């Protein structure tokens, strides 16, 4: 037991005796008292200069653990909930909302779950009636899910699918899939560095730090143009050690919403091949960015068509709204089927002590939606609807900014960005004004989630942005 020594001193005999009487009265527990605990000799001891006693106190073994800082994104929601202002807006978390700013459960997900219930696959079935063969999924996840998710990403007729050159393992959404791949890099590519865009999603650096994989940044965002610093990006990728991993956002770059053009993707691929780098795609918004599953996978397929080995992490949080189901996958495209089989075996080996095996419900939803032509077509329609609503509020926000800002500032960068986020270019102090004065909650880097904005609130948001940009330095 760790102990701390408590010393009590007094300035006079009477104060000393009074203090002792106070402990005699208040420190009793059952039939024992503090005096009994300390011994009878203590109670008889008098000192005209000092009275001392020693009390055993437990000291936590965890005293040296410091308080972790709040999550920069999830902490925004906590602050939003505490705000009572009726005009408040939560533009921090990237979660889709309806025009009424309510959470949205896709109709196709409801249909898939009803279908699962009819088939006896739903998690709401009493435990004793479940198929005992599926109480645990295999380490690699649900086979039907792994099949359709790889086909959705690369195309069912892609040669890498036909030749079984893709190692696919179901992961705990995008975060878990990234983390599993990071563990593979740490174990089998010791010392290899991962290049990460500046800026990037807030959790990327955490993931590689925890996996003990070194990383550095490549230039991506140009604050002068509020656009892509393409020359800086190419230069930094060229300067990296040969054989580095390059983390790329497959579509709808988070947090900027700025994507390379098809021609720029070709040049990025040229440099990566010249340097023998390994591309590592994070695809969190397939179908949700443009409304087209194929268009949003075009960057990945470009590299695959060139015969490049690569990693791709997938998530179904956004495009199917399965935020809480934690469903995603890690895919590794290899030069041969033999290599893919070995990579998959090692991914499973890493997953086993990490989380053992993944959950089943979200995997079954995806497998049913993608595996059914009827549900698949309905899903594509709903994705286009969601992407269309975000494009609509993006346009209205731009129109409102142009109408309210008479300074001549060019706000067209908002229309050039894609996906659920917009990078406003606001500084940290300006974002603080957005929150303290206008009750608009957003991340400190100036990112706003258009998925949490309604058409009715666009003018109010424009007022807040114009005020913060021009009146706060």
Chain mean pLDDT for the chain: 89
Q: Residue for token digits 């053009």?
A: 261
Quick one: pLDDT at residue 131? 54
- Any bridge partners for residue 281, and if so which? 248, 312
Q: Which class for 139: exposed (0-12), middle (13-18), buried (19 or more C-beta within 10 A)? A: buried
More reliable by pLDDT, 134 or 299:
299
Q: Residue for token digits 């300006």?
A: 430
Domain 74-102+387-471 has CATH 3.40.50.300: no
More reliable by pLDDT, 113 or 72:
113
Query: Looking at 111, 201, 236, 296, which residue is catalytic?
Result: 201
Report how far residue 237's alpha carbon sits from residue 243's, in angstroms, rounded to the nearest whole number: 11
pTM of the model: 0.85
Quick one: pLDDT at residue 9? 45
Report how far residue 92's alpha carbon sits from residue 80's, in angstroms, rounded to the nearest whole number: 9
Both structure tokens of 269 = 């691929």
pLDDT level of residue 134 (50, 70, 90 thresholds): low
Q: Which fold has domain 136-371?
A: 3.40.640
pLDDT surpassing 90 at residue 71: no
In a 3-state reduction of DSSP, which class is residue 364? helix
Omega prior to 255 cis, within 30 of 0:
yes
Quick one: pLDDT at residue 73? 78
Number of Cβ within 10 Å of residue 420's Cβ equals 25
Report how far residue 25's alpha carbon sits from residue 374's, in angstroms, rounded to the nearest whole number: 78
Residues with Cβ within 8 Å of residue 47, at least 6 apart in sequence: 13, 16
More reliable by pLDDT, 219 or 136:
219
Query: Looking at 111, 282, 396, 457, which residue is catalytic?
Result: 282
Quick one: pLDDT at residue 45? 46
Domain locations in the chain? 3-58, 74-102+387-471, 136-371
Q: Is the separation of the CB atoms in 200 and 247 below 8 Å?
A: yes
User: Could you report the per-residue pLDDT of 137-153, keeping only the tens digit for each?
Assistant: 999 999 999 999 999 99
Q: What is the DSSP letter of 89?
A: E
Report how far residue 135's alpha carbon sits from residue 137's, in angstroms, rounded to the nearest whole number: 7
- Any bridge partners for residue 247, and if so which? 280
Determine what percent of the chain is predicted with pLDDT higher than 90: 79
Q: Is the separation of the CB atoms in 51 and 9 below 8 Å?
A: yes
pLDDT surpassing 90 at residue 26: no
Report how far residue 106's alpha carbon sits from residue 109's, in angstroms, rounded to the nearest whole number: 5
pLDDT surpassing 80 at residue 76: yes
Query: Looking at 318, 344, 396, 457, which residue is catalytic?
Result: 318
Quick one: pLDDT at residue 449? 95
In a 3-state reduction of DSSP, which class is residue 167? strand
Number of Cβ within 10 Å of residue 238's Cβ equals 13
- Clarify whether 282 is annotated catalytic: yes
Number of Cβ within 10 Å of residue 208's Cβ equals 23
User: Could you report the per-residue pLDDT of 205-239, keeping only the tens digit for each?
Assistant: 999 999 999 999 999 999 999 999 999 999 999 99
To the nearest 10 degrees (0 to 180), the angle between helices 107-119 and 373-404 is 160
User: Could you report the per-residue pLDDT of 321-339, keeping only the tens digit for each?
Assistant: 999 999 999 999 999 999 9
Task: State the average pLDDT over residues 459-465.
Answer: 98
Number of Cβ within 10 Å of residue 44's Cβ equals 8
Quick one: pLDDT at residue 55? 65
Report how far residue 439's alpha carbon sits from residue 79's, in angstroms, rounded to the nearest whole number: 10
pLDDT level of residue 5 (50, 70, 90 thresholds): very low
Report how far residue 292's alpha carbon sits from residue 294's, in angstroms, rounded to the nearest whole number: 5
pLDDT level of residue 135 (50, 70, 90 thresholds): confident
């Amino acid at each position: 037991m760790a102990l701390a020594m408590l010393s009590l001193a007094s300035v006079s005999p009477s104060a000393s005796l009074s203090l002792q009487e106070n402990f005699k009265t208040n420190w009793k527990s059952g039939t024992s008292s503090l005096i009994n605990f300390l011994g009878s000799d203590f109670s008889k001891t008098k000192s005209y200069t000092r009275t001392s006693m020693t009390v055993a106190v437990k000291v936590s073994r965890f005293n040296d653990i410091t308080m972790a800082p709040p999550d920069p994104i999830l902490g925004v929601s906590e602050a939003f909930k505490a705000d009572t202002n009726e005009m408040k807006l939560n533009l921090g978390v990237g979660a889709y909302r309806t025009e009424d700013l309510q959470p949205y459960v896709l109709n196709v997900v409801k249909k898939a779950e009803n279908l699962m219930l009819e088939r006896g696959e739903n998690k709401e079935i009493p435990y004793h009636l479940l198929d005992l063969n599926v109480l645990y999924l295999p380490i690699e996840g649900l086979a039907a899910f792994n099949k359709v998710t790889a086909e959705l990403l690369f195309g069912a007729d892609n040669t890498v699918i036909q030749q079984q050159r893709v190692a696919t393992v179901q992961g705990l959404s995008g975060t878990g899939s990234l983390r599993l791949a990071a563990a593979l890099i740490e174990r089998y590519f010791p010392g290899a560095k991962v290049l990460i865009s500046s800026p990037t999603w807030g959790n990327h650096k955490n993931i590689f730090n925890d996996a003990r994989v070194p990383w550095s940044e490549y230039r991506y965002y140009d604050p002068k143009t509020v656009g892509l610093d393409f020359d800086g990006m190419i230069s930094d990728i060229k300067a990296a050690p040969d054989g580095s991993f390059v983390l790329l956002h497959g579509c709808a770059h988070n947090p900027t919403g700025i994507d390379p053009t098809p021609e720029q993707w070709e040049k990025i691929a040229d440099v990566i091949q010249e340097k023998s780098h390994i591309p590592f795609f994070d695809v969190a918004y397939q179908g949700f960015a443009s409304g087209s599953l194929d268009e949003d996978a075009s960057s990945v397929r470009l590299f695959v068509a060139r015969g490049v080995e690569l990693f791709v992490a997938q998530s179904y949080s956004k495009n199917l709204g399965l935020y809480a189901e934690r469903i995603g996958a890690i895919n590794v495209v290899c030069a041969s089927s033999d290599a893919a089989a070995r990579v998959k075996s090692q991914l499973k080996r890493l997953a086993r002590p990490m989380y053992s095996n993944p959950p089943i419900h979200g995997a079954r939803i995806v497998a049913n939606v993608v595996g059914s032509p009827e549900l698949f077509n309905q899903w594509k329609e709903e994705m286009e609807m969601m992407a269309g609503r975000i494009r609509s509020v993006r346009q209205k926000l731009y129109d409102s900014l142009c109408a309210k800002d008479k300074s001549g500032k060019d706000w067209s960068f908002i229309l050039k960005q894609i996906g659920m986020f917009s990078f406003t270019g606001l500084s940290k102090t300006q974002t603080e004004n957005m929150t303290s004065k206008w009750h608009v909650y957003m991340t400190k880097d100036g990112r706003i989630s258009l998925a949490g904005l309604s058409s009715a609130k666009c003018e109010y948001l424009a007022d807040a942005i114009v005020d913060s940009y021009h009146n706060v330095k």
